[in-house]
Each structure stands twice: as C-alpha cells, then as structure tokens.
Structure 1
Amino acid sequence: MTSATNLDTDLTPFPDHTQLPESDGKFVKNWQEHPQSILLTDSIQPVLKQIHPDGQYCIGQDLGIYWRLTDPPEKGAEAPDWFYVGNVPPLLDGQTRRSYVFWREHIAPLIVLEFVSGDGSEERNKTPWQGKFWIYEQVIRPPFYGIYEVKKASVEVYEFIGGQYESLAANERGHYPIHPLGVELGIWEGEYQNAQLPWLRWWDAEGNLLLTGEERAEQERQRAEQERQRAEQEHQRNERLIAQLRALGVEPEI
C-alpha cells in the first residue's frame, strides 16, 4: 500500500466534496440551532476579514467534516453545528462547499462548536471511532472544542494541549479566550430573532460584545439620533440667547 503524499495524484481515487453526501437526511434537532449559528457567524465576520484580508477562510454550519471513508459515506463524517477553518478557500473550483473533506485539505478547523439538544452525552462521547468527543480529540483535532447548552445557559470549552483536550478555565468575565482569534466566547442573556435566551456569543479581548450587522446599524442609528438631538438643543440654546440679547436692545451679529 502506498501512502498518500501528493494531493494532485495520490488522492485522485478518493472522493471530494462533490461526490460525498451533503446531508445525512436528519432534521435539525431544534429551531434555535440555525439562529444561533447565524448569530455567531454574523458577529465574527469583521474579525475574520481582518485576519484574512484575502478572504481565505470558511465557516461551516451543520456542514459535514469527512474524516474517513465508510459505507455509507455519511457515517464517516461529523457535522458540527458551527466551525471555522482558516487559510482555505471559501469556494472550491467556483462551487459552494457541500462538505469539508479532511483527507483532501488536511487543515483542521480552529474551533468546533456543538449545540446540545439532549443531555449532552452525544457531545461528550469518548467511545473510540464513534463518539464525537473522541473523533474531535483523536482524529480531527481542532485546537478548541466548545459544548453549548442553552437549557443550562452554559458553555464548556476544551483546548487541545499535549495530545488531548484540557478543560479551559473561564476568565474574570466568565468568558473563554480563543487567543488565535483575539476573541472570547461566552453566554449573553438577551433577545435575538424575537427570542429571549442565553445565546452563545463573541466578545473582543477587552470584553466588548461583538455586534451583529443589525446591531451595528441600530447603534449607528442611535448615535445619529443623539447627534441630531444635540444639534437641535444647541440651536434652541442659540435662539434663546438671541432673544435675550434683543430684549436688551442688542442686535446680535448672525
């Protein structure tokens, strides 16, 4: 048996993302998964664009990471609820990614996030060759693995250190630093897409919440409104001053 060393030739017989199933046919486990993924993606995009001005990165949302060949093929994939991979093209040969094929790209995601729908045993399963935790730790090996439980308003984060995952301690703000990105991950209590929940969100290294595009637009609207009110108050103050001067028989220069 020859080892795979040349991506252009040796891996040719192995399927790529266009030849592998893009879904295992299962329903999304709860309605909150998609809004949660969108919230994470929307708010971190400005950070990733600074890190990758060439646009070479991709974000997966319920996208399969193929890590071994199986029959059927989808049994050889894990589909994290959210993950980020740097230094890879967002498109392949001009096509939207159907999956992330690990044996072709060899670059592990920097961070993988799972959103718990049940009791969390699936996300913490360390059974060799089957359990999510084992597969992430022993095969795919993203430097950071997060398990988010909306019912408990909690997230636990693991960092890959010395060949295994070590539980990462929260900082004084209760956030988990993801140093390669210069951000922190934590729980935010608030309303998003008409739901008041403990959402999983990003902060910068100074503890400032990373806003979504809609939140940034609203912040700018409020800033513009405050400036309008300030200008109006200044105008009214000037009008009162002019009236006072005229009452004293002084015609102000305008």
Structure 2
Amino acid sequence: MYDLPSEDPEEERLPDQYHGYQPDILDDTFKPSNYDFDEILTATDLHIYYNLNHTNWYKRPDWFAVVGVSRLYEGFDLRMSYVLWQELVSPFVIVELLSPSTENEDLGRTVQQPGKPPTKWQVYEQILRVPYYIIFSRYTNELQPFHLVGGHYEPMTPHEEGLYPVPELGLSFGLWQGTYKGVNRIWLRWFTQSGEMIPTPEEENAAAQQEAAAAQQEAATAQQEAAAAQQEAAAAQQEAATAQERARLAEERAERLAAKLRELNIDLDDLG
C-alpha cells in the first residue's frame, strides 16, 4: 500500500478510498431501535461548527451520528455543514479513523495553543460532550472506544462477544471480518443490542435472493413430490384395473367350467 506526498506541503490531505467505504458501512448499519429514519442524521467529513463567538472554528469527524434531529436541513435539504447553535443537538457518537498524521490529535495527546482553536479531544469531550467517541485504526485494527462519564471520557469494556453496548440507542458496535462492497477486511460496524448483525442493503439483497432460491427449490421439490404421488396413484389405479380384469376373467372361466359340467350332467353340489 502506498500514499505519495502532495507537491504542496500545506495542502490538506484528502480522504482515501477507505475513508469512503468505512463510513458507508457505518451509515448502512446505524439503525437505532428507538428513533425513526427521519430523526437520524449521519455524516462523513462534514464540518461541525461549535462556537458562535468563533464561527470559523470547526471539527470535521470522519463519521458522526446525531439522533433527535431532522435528517434533512429544515426538513427538505442536505446539509452543507452542521452548525451547533442552530441545530442545538450535539452528535451522539463520533468515529475517527486513525492515521499517522491525525493519531496524536485523535487520541487527545495534543495541547491547545494560545489563540488557537481547542483540540479535537477538548471539543468532543468538553464542548460538544459527545456520549460516545470511537477511534479505529485500519493499520492495526485496534478499536479504542470511549464513553463520556462524569464529563470525561472513560475507555469502554466490551461484552464477552467483543461488542460494545450503546443501550441508549438499542445498539452495540464492534469489529467484523467480512466482505463489504467487494472488499474483504476487518470493518467497524453496528449490531443490535443483543449482538445480532444489522445487515447492509447488499446483505439484505443477498439474503432475499437466498430466500427466493430456497423457496423456488421448495416449490420444485413439492412439484416433484406431487408428480410422484400422481404416478403412484396412477400405478395403484392400474393395479386395481388389472386386478378387476383378472377377477372378471376368473369369473368367466368359472362360468364356462360350470356350463361344461352341466352339459356333462355333473352336479356341482355333488362335487362338493
């Protein structure tokens, strides 16, 4: 894997392919059980403006989700940014995808400089007060989730299944090895609170196709069984007809023998 530097050292690095795919699977599987679809906003690389006194200060998470707001801005349009003093609802969960250039900032190892915006950690923990902050490294597959407890982030502990619960949303999250959009790797995705995998549209389509194929197979088997039953019934009818014919022939033969004996003046009763 390679990543060449820009000819302009001051140029802001743009997201790579992974930074498109990983947020997409988070989008596809983020389905809180207690919120309607139109009350959920998920976004990738969208600026969050958080200080009315410094309107040019922002943070741009790799992925975040807000619940209890309109999915569309003012109910009809896509957002160009997320302005906290207009929306009045902070993100409920933020995901940062760790990279060498952002590691220290993502993990709260940097310090705010005089006259400069607060650090990412400060904004998420102390200003936005985001309940869940999740950091994932594609390079080491290390997952570092934090939960806001008493105004400070505390590392989360997974359940036995390796999943981290988010009971407020009826969800959990964790790592999954599998294929998404044709790429097999370890992905961060959402699960139900009980640990069941929430399917992506691709997975739902595959499951529907499997169900349709199984239903077709069942129908074909039922047709084969019906045809076999019809064949058995036809064979039984044929056997019954054959038996009736044999009985008729036996009866005719008996009548001929009886007639012949009468011609010979032999009484059948005497034969008994």
TM-score class, shorter-chain normalisation, is 0.7 to 0.9
**C-alpha distance in 2, partners of 1:115/1:66?**
20
Q: What is residue 252 of structure 2 aligned with on the other side?
A: none
Q: What is residue 62 of structure 2 aligned with on the other side?
A: 81
8 Å contact kept, 1:112–1:144: yes
Query: Which 4+ stretches in 1 moved above 6 angstroms?
Result: none
DSSP 3-state at the match of 1:36 = helix
**C-alpha distance in 2, partners of 1:211/1:182?**
15
TM score, norm. by length of structure 2:
0.74
Q: What is residue 102 of structure 1 aligned with on the other side?
A: 84
Aligned counterpart for 2:12 among listed residues 26, 34, 37: 26
Q: What residue ranges of structure 1 are gaps of 5+ in the alignment?
A: 1-24
- C-alpha displacement at 1:28, in angstroms? 2.8
- C-alpha displacement at 1:157, in angstroms? 1.0
Q: What is residue 95 of structure 2 aligned with on the other side?
A: 113
8 Å contact kept, 2:52–2:85: no
**C-alpha distance in 2, partners of 1:88/1:65?**
15
8 Å contact kept, 1:116–1:150: yes
8 Å contact kept, 2:49–2:55: no
Deviation sequence 1:5-46 (CA, Å, 0-9, x none): xxxxxxxxxxxxxxxxxxxx73433210111111111222xx
Q: What is residue 125 of structure 1 aligned with on the other side?
A: 108
Q: What is residue 35 of structure 1 aligned with on the other side?
A: 21
**C-alpha distance in 2, partners of 1:92/1:246?**
70
Deviation sequence 1:115-145 (CA, Å, 0-9, x none): 1122732210242454322221121110000
**C-alpha distance in 1, partners of 2:145/2:122?**
15
Deviation sequence 1:171-208 (CA, Å, 0-9, x none): 01101111111111111111112211101111112211
**C-alpha distance in 1, partners of 2:154/2:88?**
23
**C-alpha distance in 1, partners of 2:12/2:203?**
33
8 Å contact kept, 1:150–1:197: no
Aligned counterpart for 1:175 among listed residues 149, 163, 166: 163
Q: What is residue 7 of structure 2 aligned with on the other side?
A: none
- C-alpha displacement at 1:71, in angstroms? 7.5
8 Å contact kept, 1:144–1:158: yes
Q: What is residue 9 of structure 1 aligned with on the other side?
A: none
Aligned counterpart for 2:217 among listed residues 229, 239, 243: 229
Q: What is residue 208 of structure 1 aligned with on the other side?
A: 196
Q: What is residue 44 of structure 2 aligned with on the other side?
A: 61
**C-alpha distance in 2, partners of 1:188/1:54?**
24
- C-alpha displacement at 1:242, in angstroms? 2.2
TM score, norm. by length of structure 1:
0.79
Deviation sequence 1:50-89 (CA, Å, 0-9, x none): 533372331121111112368892xx11111111111222
In our comparison, the structure showing a higher alpha carbon Rg is 2
8 Å contact kept, 2:29–2:191: no
Rate the CA distance shift 1:54–1:188 in 2: closer, same or farther, 3 A.
closer
Q: What residue ranges of structure 2 are gaps of 5+ in the alignment?
A: 1-10, 240-272
Q: What is residue 14 of structure 1 aligned with on the other side?
A: none
Indicate the RMSD between aligned Cα atoms, in angstroms: 2.4
Letter in 1 for 2:149: I
Aligned length: 223
Q: What is residue 248 of structure 1 aligned with on the other side?
A: 236
Identity value in percent: 28
DSSP 3-state at the match of 1:35 = helix
8 Å contact kept, 1:65–1:78: yes
Rate the CA distance shift 1:219–1:54 in 2: closer, same or farther, 3 A.
closer
Which structure shows the higher helix fraction? 2
